[in-house]
Structure 1
Amino acid sequence: MKDTLDLFSALGDRLKDFGGDAASRQVAERACRANGWFTPAEVCRAVRTLSRDMLQRPKLERWLAAYPALPAARPLDVLVVMAGNIPLVGFFDLLCVVVAGHRCLVKPSAKDTVLMEYVVGLLREIDPAVPVSFCDGTAPAEAVIATGGDNANRCFRARYAGIPALLRGHRQSVAVLSGRETEAQLAGLADDIWAYSGLGCRNVSLVFLPEGAELRLRMPAVQAKYRNNYLQTRALLRMQGCPFVDLGAAVAVEQREFPRALSEIAYARYRSADEVAAWLAEHDAELQCVVTETLPHTRRADFGRAQSPSLTDYPDNRDVLAWLSAPGV
């Protein structure tokens, strides 16, 4: 097999112009037909983001330099059970498994099979010996990485109880504002909230702002399925007599809990940064990332960068490469 740096940097080169030719546009269209929440523009964005932020050789080199014990001395068959809420959201786990020196058994989500098959096909074109294969979830595995909702997570715990398992459930993200944000930062916040129709765990769904500050959210254009969710949510809030701010294609509700509806954004006012820091610490197990320039946080993201994670922005703050290199995995 090729050196993993050569393999994945070559993949990055092939993906950087995704959507710029008829063949890749057809792939994007097929992916959208398989998942009604996907749009061609966001499929292209997701693929290009991977190429830019994860599959550049200098970035891969810096990332792997922190793990001198890799590749693993004894390769394992590692099953990766992928989510499908965002285009290629499961690719990072595949990358981690292969660079760690293991064999990756891919179980893609039915909602994102088209793109995953496309990318694995490119890997095989670059190197036919790449240790990646598809499975239906029944193939024997020696370790598993699985991502899903909380109900799926409970099933994962039971199903894979006999092998090392890195399991992820449902998380959400917040933004903490100072009230002095620039127009560019507010535009970035809109992307953090509504990119990929707000379906990702890194999408902001709760906004903290200081007392006296105006809630300023700039609603972008949304796709039809999101707008239908908004119309239903707005009608339900009106029937219940719940106060809300109508943003045009989403609603904002003042509360300190994460919202239940996709098109509902929660906001809460605070008196001090310490007050927010205490809330974040109390709810740490529910958080994926925190968009802010107001206070420090181990999973802090800049405005407009929530949906552009780097190689070290590990989901659920679990270092996947460290887990894959630990004894017993």
Structure 2
Amino acid sequence: MFVKNAIDLFSELGVRLRGFGDDSATRGVVNAACRANGWFTPAEVRRAVGAIARDMLSREKLEAWLANYPAVPVATPRRVLVVMAGNIPLVGFFDLLCTVVSGHWCLIKPSTKDTVLMEYIVGLLRDIDDSAPVEFYDGASSVDAVIATGSDNANRYFRARYAGIPSLLRGSRQSAAVLSGNETPEQLTGLADDIWAYSGLGCRSVSLLFLPEGYEPMLQMPAVNGKYKNNYRQERAVLAMQGHPFLDLGAAVAVEQRNFPTALSRISYTHYKTLDEVAGWLAMHDEELQCVVTECLPHSRRASFGGAQSPALTDYPDDRDVIAWLAGLH
């Protein structure tokens, strides 16, 4: 498939995804997706689909993005298996998009937690063009390369399972925010979204805050999923029994520590004296980081307040250029 045809395909998909959830048919898809994954909410499913349509599938953005890659489409298409995570709605879509616009055939292995939405998307693509190079993996066919995303344990399995073929593998990552102490109320509202959107389950969800000495930001928690609240109650009880100090944020706990939390409903925070100190910590822990929300420090994966959950086409996971990797497959 030529890049022009791929742009036609995905820009039309973007058109068809506009207003997703506004009619009875797509509301049915939303409800089915939420039944299949109790962490999904209707509002967040709609949000995820809307962000993809807006930030990834406009013709202008697709053209500008792909203009940077003269090597695509590739001369020899390969069969690329995409093993998807299911922590947030359609989190695996970007790899599907990259694979197809690069000129390869995409074999999808969706998470059981996000099959409903992925089946809907593939159905739309086939309706637009029945020759679209996308299909669900049958579990047995040979593949030439793999892109796989999952937990650190899953990542170790991927390394063993796909050792003989080119592979782009991703494990667990988390995100941090660095505050100056001069943030506006609007920026703090955006930060709350960066922390708690999608129940904090995304790799771009902020879970560690760097604060200047003496600064305690006032964060207003948005409404969270009932499953997240249950997790919070358990975490609060454990910390109380252990006599471990914490701040109760209403549906999450904040603990002073300079490392990423291991519990979903726990937010870490730490105070710093200088920004150089923070920059050093970020550099030392780069392999744990997905993005950094800040306006007071440069970073290769910096996001604006309120922007962590809306990655652009060039915000590659783990800072690995997926299109360049796909273009190099032989």
Please report the TM-score for the alignment, with normalisation by the length of structure 2: 0.98
**Distance in 2 of aligned mates of 1:121 and 1:208:** 44
Q: Deviations over 1:129-177 (max 9, x none)?
A: 0000001433210000000000000000000001000000000000000
What's the CA shift for 1:214? 1.5
Q: Deviations over 1:85-111 (max 9, x none)?
A: 000000000000000000000000000
Aligned counterpart, 1:91? 93
**Distance in 2 of aligned mates of 1:162 and 1:63:** 31
Aligned counterpart, 1:126? 128
**Distance in 2 of aligned mates of 1:139 and 1:218:** 50
**Distance in 1 of aligned mates of 2:220 and 2:267:** 12
Find the partner of 2:255 among 245, 253, 256: 253
Tell which deviates more after alignment, 132-141 or 231-240.
Answer: 132-141
Find the partner of 2:302 among 286, 300, 303: 300
Aligned counterpart, 2:214? 212
Aligned counterpart, 1:26? 28
What's the CA shift for 1:29? 0.2
**Distance in 1 of aligned mates of 2:146 and 2:165:** 7
Quick one: which amino acid aligns to residue 250 of structure 1? A
**Distance in 2 of aligned mates of 1:280 and 1:137:** 39
**Distance in 1 of aligned mates of 2:282 and 2:139:** 36
- Secondary structure of 1:208's counterpart equals strand
What's the CA shift for 1:220? 1.0
Aligned counterpart, 1:58? 60
Distance 1:148 1:327, change over 3 A: closer
Q: Deviations over 1:232-261 (max 9, x none)?
A: 000000000000000000000000010011
- Secondary structure of 1:3's counterpart equals helix
Matches within 5 A, 1:171-210: 171-210=173-212
Aligned counterpart, 2:287? 285
- Secondary structure of 2:269's counterpart equals strand
What's the CA shift for 1:327? 4.8
Give the RMSD, CA atoms, in angstroms.
0.8
Find the partner of 1:318 among 312, 317, 320: 320
Aligned counterpart, 2:230? 228
Find the partner of 1:151 among 132, 142, 153: 153
Quick one: which amino acid aligns to residue 140 of structure 2? T
**Distance in 2 of aligned mates of 1:105 and 1:122:** 16
Name stretches of at least 5 consecutive residues in structure 2 with no aligned partner: none
Quick one: which amino acid aligns to residue 84 of structure 1? G
Q: Percent identity?
A: 72
**Distance in 1 of aligned mates of 2:128 and 2:44:** 25
Aligned counterpart, 2:273? 271
Q: Deviations over 1:10-54 (max 9, x none)?
A: 000000110111100000000000000000010000000000000
Quick one: which amino acid aligns to residue 76 of structure 2? R
Please report the TM-score for the alignment, with normalisation by the length of structure 1: 0.99
Find the partner of 1:244 among 243, 246, 264: 246
Aligned counterpart, 1:102? 104
Quick one: which amino acid aligns to residue 294 of structure 2? T
The count of residues paired between Structure 1 and Structure 2 equals 328
Name stretches of at least 5 consecutive residues in structure 1 with no aligned partner: none
Quick one: which amino acid aligns to residue 249 of structure 2? L
Find the partner of 2:48 among 46, 49, 62: 46
What's the CA shift for 1:296? 0.4
**Distance in 2 of aligned mates of 1:305 and 1:319:** 20
- Secondary structure of 1:49's counterpart equals helix
**Distance in 1 of aligned mates of 2:158 and 2:173:** 16
- Secondary structure of 2:112's counterpart equals coil
Aligned counterpart, 2:119? 117
- Secondary structure of 1:233's counterpart equals helix
**Distance in 2 of aligned mates of 1:327 and 1:14:** 31
Quick one: which amino acid aligns to residue 57 of structure 1? R
**Distance in 2 of aligned mates of 1:245 and 1:324:** 45
**Distance in 2 of aligned mates of 1:317 and 1:37:** 27
